[in-house]
Amino acid sequence: MSGEQPEYALIESAARNLLSLITATAGQEQVQGQSQSRGLTLNPPGSQNLGLRQPSIHQEMTRSFPSMFRKERTSGKRRFPTPVIKAVVAPTKHTSLQFYLLPAPTDRTPQGSQELKLLMAGLGKRHISLPDNSNHVEITASLAVEYPKLENLMGGWLLYKASGGSGQRKLTVIPPESEGYSAKLLKSSSNNGRHMLFIVPLQDEIDISPLPFDAPEFSKMPKSQCKTCGETLPLQALALHVESCSKPDSDQEAEEESSDCLEASTQIVWDPAIGEGVNRFLFSMTTQKLKCSFHLNFGNAHITRIFDGEPDHLVPSSSAHLVDSDLFLMAGRMIGHCFLHGGPPLSGLSPAVVHVISGGSAETAVVQISDCPDFDLRQKIMLLEGESELTPDEKESINDLCFSWDLPPVNNANRRWLYERLLHHAVIGRTMRQIKQLRKGLKETMLWPLLRQRPDVLPVIFPPEKNDVLTPVCVINSISWPSMVENDDEDDNDDECSLEDKSRIAGYLRQFIESASSHELKALVKFWVGWEVPTTSLKLEVTNCNLPRASTCFETLRLPSRYCNYPAFQKELLACIGTVDTGFGLV
């Protein structure tokens, strides 16, 4: 025990010394704090201010007892790490302002008729987005990008704003600040971008001649292609371009040749001076040419059909040359004239096309797969019928067709719907321009009011092919057969034939009519009177001529009396009636 007393005494002495040191240091810091709050500095007498800071109580205790007073642990897992806060830079705000560059010094806003002209010169209205902290230099650079002509402008410019009202208004200057214009000033002057800011030159004038269409001023404008010359232009420039644009010489020659071929037959009016037969022939040629091929010099297409497809499923041709030449407008005139003058109708049209021509809605038209004249399209569309699985090649061909017509790709959910949309577009969608031209031609012949008020006449104007059949009974009942009475002046007339010859040739003709098809009967009647509709009195004469002849104006058919057997008569009559598409039935 006596050996341990000195150790306890030493520890007790050290603790007392440490406590006294802490008490003295705390009192000294308290006095220094009060002195510093009063603006005083306490230094012991004779001491020098060496710029050294006295250690605090916490630092002394940490040095003496590191395990108890250390703030951070050097070992173990830091369970709650201090988050690192990064400084986020606020994005710069932008304001969209409307600017209008004027070509010369003025105190009035421009007229509305000058906007397009100034736009073509690289001036006019622009929308420019400026940062809210933009200064005068940055604003000038942004304006020079939108208006390249400002870079070469001499004499300076100022911004103006217009007073309220409509029409031409008075301009008021926007005075710049000491450092020029700023985005904040322009924003307040334009009511946060709602009002136009006019850029007015002070001394110089800007050239307003039209710029080329590939100028940088037009780089951001949407473009479209001119139908006449095929040049790609900005949309704003098309309004001025179409007024001066002319078709190429080759296109004009092709159009003149095509119009010369059909103008005589499309704008004809019944003229009594040229004879009944000639009138009937002209009108017959109009409607029949609509259903057969004819030659047009289009450069890359020689054989053209106005209507394509099967009988009773004819639809207008999708040829762009025919639409651009307004041939369907001429076809509408033909149909109207033939109906008004009792001529042959245009038969075999698709019921869906007739429904739309007569004013019905295109969406309500009932389209059949037989109405699609393009067999390649028909085969692709027919792949969507049924529920059989499509092969990858079939699906790819169908999707290519869908994408070309702005339709979604095929899947199991839209298969039936896609079949109907593809078929409808192939028959009606691609021919709407042609149908509108046909309808316009019917309106010009005053047939449109009849179609609107009397829908029951549609089967008469556009009959089915099966109803447009010429029967032998109809033709035989319309013939005025030659007289079988002996003529006293027979010896004086060299062209007059004997009763035996008349009877034999008339029998041959009756036999031909009874055995002929509807197409051959129509050709015979057209050879006889000029069109396919038989008149009430078809005259027949047997003469001493070489080949069958017809006087269409007098509705008379003249047959030679030299035939001794029916095969020879049939062969030569078929050869003659086959010339109705090239002349008036004369050989």
Greatest CA separation for the chain: 191
Band of pLDDT at residue 245, cut at 50, 70 and 90? low
The span from the CA of 60 to the CA of 22, in Å, is 9
pTM, 2 dp: 0.44
Q: Helix 415-427 and helix 375-382: axis angle, to 10°?
A: 170
371 within 8 A of 427, measured Cβ to Cβ: yes
Q: What is the pLDDT of residue 80?
A: 55
223: β partners: 234
The mean-pLDDT minimum among 241-255, 370-384, 494-508, 515-529 falls in: 241-255
Asked if the model's pLDDT at residue 586 lies above 70, the reply is: no
Mean pLDDT, rounded, of the chain: 75
Q: Over the range 414-432, which residues count as b (16 or more CB within 10 Å of their CB) and which as e? A: ebeebbebbbbbbbbebbe
**Which tens digits make up the pLDDT trace of 506-560?**
888 888 988 888 888 888 888 888 777 777 788 888 888 888 888 878 888 889 9
Q: What is the pLDDT of residue 24?
A: 64
Residue closest to 393 by CA, chosen among 379, 407, 373: 379
3-state SS class at 145: helix
Among the listed residues 338, 545, 553, 576, the single catalytic one is 553
Q: What is the pLDDT of residue 79?
A: 56
Q: What is the pLDDT of residue 251?
A: 47
Q: What is the pLDDT of residue 544?
A: 86
Q: What is the pLDDT of residue 26?
A: 58
Instruction: Return the half-sphere exposure (C-beta side, CA atoms, 13 A cut-off) of residue 156.
Output: 5
Q: Percentage of the chain surpassing pLDDT 70?
A: 71
Asked if the model's pLDDT at residue 352 lies above 80, the reply is: yes
Asked if the model's pLDDT at residue 304 lies above 80, the reply is: no
3-state SS class at 171: strand
DSSP symbols for 552-579: GGGTEEEEES---SHHHHHHHHHHHHTT
| Average pLDDT value for residue range 475-502 | 69
Q: What is the pLDDT of residue 39?
A: 47
3-state SS class at 533: coil
Interior CA angle at 248 toward 244 and 250, to 5°?
155
**Which tens digits make up the pLDDT trace of 13-65?**
766 777 677 666 655 555 455 544 444 444 454 444 444 567 777 777 777 77
Band of pLDDT at residue 496, cut at 50, 70 and 90? low
The mean-pLDDT minimum among 228-232, 382-386, 475-479, 494-498 falls in: 494-498
Cα 101 to Cα 129, 200, 208, 240: the distances in Å are 16, 7, 11, 20
**Burial bucket for residue 361 (CB in 10 Å: 0-12, 13-18, 19+):** exposed
Band of pLDDT at residue 325, cut at 50, 70 and 90? confident
Q: What is the pLDDT of residue 127?
A: 85
The reply to whether 338 belongs to the active site is no
3-state SS class at 173: strand
Band of pLDDT at residue 492, cut at 50, 70 and 90? very low
475 within 8 A of 540, measured Cβ to Cβ: no
Residue carrying structure tokens 């098309």: 238
Residue closest to 442 by CA, chosen among 428, 468, 464, 461: 461
Band of pLDDT at residue 422, cut at 50, 70 and 90? very high
Asked if the model's pLDDT at residue 495 lies above 70, the reply is: no
166 within 8 A of 146, measured Cβ to Cβ: no
Q: What is the pLDDT of residue 252?
A: 46
332 within 8 A of 448, measured Cβ to Cβ: no
**Which tens digits make up the pLDDT trace of 85-108?**
666 666 778 888 888 888 888 888
Residue closest to 71 by CA, chosen among 53, 85, 58, 57: 58
**Which tens digits make up the pLDDT trace of 286-302?**
454 455 544 343 333 33
In sequence order, the 6+-apart residues with CB closer than 8 A to the CB of 370 are 309, 310, 313
**Which tens digits make up the pLDDT trace of 65-79?**
776 666 555 555 555
Cα(first)–Cα(last) distance of the chain, in Å? 162
Select the more confidently predicted residue: 437 or 45: 437
Q: What is the pLDDT of residue 274?
A: 39
Q: Helix 518-529 and helix 499-515: axis angle, to 10°?
A: 130
Asked if the model's pLDDT at residue 115 lies above 70, the reply is: yes
Band of pLDDT at residue 241, cut at 50, 70 and 90? low
The span from the CA of 540 to the CA of 476, in Å, is 11
